[in-house]
Amino acid sequence: MVGVGGGIIIVPCLVFFLSFSQKSAQGNSLALLLLPLGILGVMNYHKQGYVDYRVVLAMAAGFVLGNFFGSKWALNLNDEKLKKIFGIIMLLAALKILFLDKPKEKSAVVKTTSQVPGSKSNSDKHD
């Protein structure tokens, strides 16, 4: 719905409401990503021209490496330190969204369907 990847919502819910340890919450949240749960949402965004698969592939490569090394690092931390790091990252993200993000001009946002093979060109369309 809002593109936060679920972990920002799922991990705190597992910790606070189901009493998971921070590591168990993060592990279960990552395991959920193994399934193609977002495929229907991706299809909707793709139909409207908001998916650039070159960017997706680059991000996926970064996520594979980040998940591998990040999980090794996180598993070596104690739960309290890991919770604090997670909370700080969430807080910094919230502060950025609330105070530092500037609204974009409508003409600056362009759909990406023109970059998707087999789709009609929307390069002249703006939000």
pLDDT attached to residue 103: 79
- Judged on CB neighbours under 10 Å (0-12, 13-18, 19+), 16 is exposed
Q: Is the CB of residue 24 less than 8 Å from the CB of residue 86?
A: no
* In a domain? residue 89: yes
* In a domain? residue 111: no
* In a domain? residue 71: yes
How many separate domains does the chain show? 1
* In a domain? residue 126: no
* In a domain? residue 49: yes
Q: Which amino acid is at 20?
A: F
* In a domain? residue 114: no
Q: pLDDT means per 10 residues in the chain (127 residues)?
A: 66 88 87 79 92 92 90 92 91 89 65 51 45
* In a domain? residue 108: no
pTM of the model: 0.60
